[in-house]
Amino acid sequence: MTRRFSTSRRSILAGLGVAAAGISFGGLEGCAAKYPIGKNGEEQRLNLYNWDTYTGKTTLADFKAATGVEVHMSLFATNDELFSKLRAGNPGFDIIVPSNEFVTRLKISNLLEPLDLAKIPNRVNLLPSFQNPAFDPGRHYSMPYTWLVLGIGYRKSKIDGVPDSWKWLMDSDRYKGRIGLFSEADDLMGLAAKYLGHSAHNVPPEVIEQIARMYIKQKPNIKIFHNDEGQDLLLSGDIDIVMEYNGDIAQVMVEDPDLDFVVPREGSIINSDCLCIPKGAPRPDNAHQFINFVLDAKNGAEIYNTIKYPTPNAAALALMPKEYRDNPAIFPPADRMARCEYAQFEGMKRSQFYDETLTRIFAS
């Protein structure tokens, strides 16, 4: 049995979240020990709400050594979980790590605190392409932590050649019974639109209809719609070809050289996970200190060495070993990346429409 229950950004927590949605919170502040007051007048404490296995091995200890601030990390498994928790009022988090389309959702719902850019001088370390993204012009609400691209993870010995088209997942019975797809409605619709030659955004209803028919036809060939534990299923041999994020596959490629990752030629969807300060954060100055700390070259390198996700930080990238920088699973080729689009929040009505379409695909 090679089943592992860790080292995935989301997997086991997604399972736990299913079992215990919402028990994790209640007394964030209640049972707090007394913390000394720092120079900035805030308690020497910081509540970080993060994905699983998404910091470096020594990051939090290093931060405490540098600033005296003790970081308490809680974990979430999906952006939706993060959103539904904050929607009911900030339970005491100082920093959250939403993906870019959720930065948009949180921002328009007035749940984010604007950043004081003067307190984050290390932002100059960011690659130019991350300085001024469309979802947060001028970076007034979010600082990039990682970026991720959806693609195909596969077992080389079981797949013929490089499966560099979404066709092998969505529209072919060649790998019948060995296929795993993401169970996220937005990603399934957007990626299928890319496969059919459309943009991932503002997909017309008749194309959605076509996509629904395609998935319904493909369903008998699909072994599982997974909740972001695709890399574990691939590693354990349950499936041989899977829709997953590059970082998740890069993590298991270290353990099993028979695995590989490709961004299909039709292009894909990119996300960027960002550090944000939620409205009502009790210790905003500590939060700014933490963001600035993470954007430092050396501290960043420590993180990316562990988590194997691509970094938006040019200075940290320069410190990274060659195995990371030249890893095509972590940094897919530029011509493929050029065909990718950032995930985008397209309004409440559309998420509900997509969700209903997915329910229809599952139920039929």
Partner 1 sequence: MDEDWKRAKRVFATMAAPPVLWLAVFFLVPLAIIWAYSFGENKNLVEITVDGTFSNYAHALQPLYFGIIFKSFWFAAITTFLCLVIGFPVAIAITFASEKTKAWLLLLIMLPFWTNLLIRTYALMAVLRTEGFINMGLAFLWNGLSHITALTGHPLAPFHPLELLHNNFAVVFGLVYVQLPFMVLPLYAALDRLDRSLLEASLDLGAGHLTTFARVVVPLAAPGIVSGVIVTLIPSIGAYLTPDLLGGPESMMIANVIERQFKTANNWPFGSALSFLLMYMTFIAIAVQAIVSRNRKAEASV
Q: How far is the CB of 21 from partner 1 (least distance, A)?
A: 8
Burial 340-354 (b: 16+ CB within 10 A, else e): bebbbbbeeebbebb
221 part of the interface to partner 1, by CB under 8 A: no
Q: Which is nearer to partner 1, 330 or 361 (CB)?
A: 361
Q: Which is nearer to partner 1, 49 or 130 (CB)?
A: 49
360 part of the interface to partner 1, by CB under 8 A: yes
Q: Which is nearer to partner 1, 7 or 311 (CB)?
A: 7
DSSP string, 259-305: EEEE--TT--EEEEEEEBEETT-S-HHHHHHHHHHHTSHHHHHHHHH
The binding track of 124-163 with respect to partner 1, each residue x by CB under 8 A or -, is ----------------------------------------
306 part of the interface to partner 1, by CB under 8 A: no
Burial of 178 (0-12, 13-18, 19+ CB in 10 A): buried
362 part of the interface to partner 1, by CB under 8 A: yes
Instruction: Give the number of residues written for the chain.
Output: 364
109 part of the interface to partner 1, by CB under 8 A: yes
Q: Cα(306)–Cα(7) distance, rounded to whole angstroms? A: 10
Q: Which is nearer to partner 1, 104 or 313 (CB)?
A: 104
> Which conformational region is residue 139 in: left (phi greater than 0), alpha (psi within -120 to 50 degrees), or beta?
left
Kind of pairing between the strands at 269-275 and 179-182:
unpaired
- Count of CB atoms within 10 A of residue 246's CB? 27
84 part of the interface to partner 1, by CB under 8 A: yes
Q: Which is nearer to partner 1, 6 or 84 (CB)?
A: 84
Q: Cα(287)–Cα(291) distance, rounded to whole angstroms? A: 6
Token pair of 239 as six digits: 């499936």
Q: How far is the CB of 322 from partner 1 (least distance, A)?
A: 35
Q: How far is the CB of 92 from partner 1 (least distance, A)?
A: 18
DSSP string, 226-242: ESS-HHHHHHTTS-SEE
108 part of the interface to partner 1, by CB under 8 A: yes
* Residues within the interface to partner 1 (CB under 8 A): 1, 3, 15-16, 18-21, 78, 80-81, 83-84, 87, 105, 108-109, 111, 177, 184-185, 219, 222-225, 236-238, 348, 351-352, 355-356, 359-363
